């Protein structure tokens, strides 16, 4: 298998595993919010991983993480989880973009 194909396969496998880990982290976050901070959970639209999943719920989750809304809740373990999820998301995006641009760079020369 050529080097670039090995790179693509490896990054794709890592990203696929990261999606599964992300689902677990989101479930843990939502459960923690629902049990320990119900007002915030309800303000976010009572999101869930699948049943009540909506674009609004996804936006609320991303806003919660990026705006670091967990800080006002004064919950150390929730803050650690949220910060870890934000770092995880950024790493995922970097790997995804690396894969995307690597594929584009391989396809572009052959498209002419």
When pLDDT is cut at 50, 70 and 90, the band that residue 41 belongs to is very high
Interval 86-90 mean pLDDT: 98
Dihedral sign for Cα 76, 64, 48, 39, please: positive
All structural domains of the chain with their residue ranges? 30-45+52-105
Q: What whole-number percentage of the chain has pLDDT above 70?
A: 95
pLDDT in tens, 45-63: 999 888 777 888 899 999 9
- Which residues, 6 or more positions from 36, have their beta carbon under 8 angstroms from its beta carbon? 75, 78
Identify which of 5-9, 32-36, 97-101, 105-109 has the greatest average pLDDT: 32-36
pLDDT reported for residue 2: 74
Q: Are 79 and 23 a contacting pair, CB within 8 Å?
A: no
């Amino acid at each position: 298998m050529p080097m670039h194909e090995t790179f693509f396969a490896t990054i794709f496998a890592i990203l696929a595993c990261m999606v599964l880990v992300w689902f677990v982290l989101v479930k843990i976050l939502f459960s923690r919010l629902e049990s320990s901070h119900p007002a915030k959970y309800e303000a976010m639209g009572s999101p869930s991983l699948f049943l009540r999943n909506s674009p609004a719920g996804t936006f609320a989750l991303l806003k919660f993480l990026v705006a670091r809304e967990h800080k006002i809740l004064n919950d150390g373990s929730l803050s650690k989880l949220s910060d870890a999820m934000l770092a995880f998301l950024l790493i995922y995006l970097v790997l995804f973009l690396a894969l995307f641009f690597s594929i584009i760079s391989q396809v572009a020369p052959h498209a002419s």
